[in-house]
Amino acid sequence: MAQTRFAPDRGLTSRMVTTMFFIGLLYVVVVGVLVVLLKGAWVVVLLIAGGLFVAQFWFSDRIAAFSMGAHEVTPEQAPVLHGAVDRLCALADMPKPRVAIAESDVPNAFATGRNQKNSMVCATTGLLRRLEPEELEGVLAHELSHVAHRDVAVMTIASFLGVLAGIITRAALWSGVGRNNRDQNAAIAVLIVTAVSAVVYAISFLLTRLLSRYRELAADRAAALLTGRPSALAAALTKVTGQIARIPTEDLRKAQPYNAFFFAPAFNKESFHQMLSSHPTLEQRLDQLGRIAAQLGA
Catalytically annotated residues: 143
- The H or E element that residue 178 is part of is none
Question: Are 227 and 138 within 8 A, CB to CB?
Answer: yes
Question: Are 143 and 263 within 8 A, CB to CB?
Answer: yes
The beta strands (E) that lie in the chain are given as: 70-72, 98-102, 109-112, 120-124
120's CB contacts (< 8 A; 6+ apart) are 61, 65, 70, 72, 97, 98, 99, 100, 111, 112, 113
DSSP 8-class letter at 70: E
Angstrom distance (rounded) from CA 45 to CA 33: 10
Angstrom distance (rounded) from CA 88 to CA 227: 8
User: Is 76 annotated among the ligand-binding residues?
Assistant: no
From 249, 290, 198, 258, select the one nearest 64 (Cα to Cα): 258
DSSP symbols for 75-138: TTT-HHHHHHHHHHHHHHT-PPPEEEEE--SS--EEEE-SSGGG-EEEEEHHHHHH--HHHHHH
User: Is 146 annotated among the ligand-binding residues?
Assistant: yes
Strand bridging mode 109-112 / 98-102: unpaired
271 φ/ψ sector (left φ>0, alpha ψ -120 to 50, else beta): alpha
User: Is 149 annotated among the ligand-binding residues?
Assistant: no
Annotated binding site for Zn(2+): 142, 146, 216
Task: Point out the annotated binding site.
Answer: 142, 146, 216
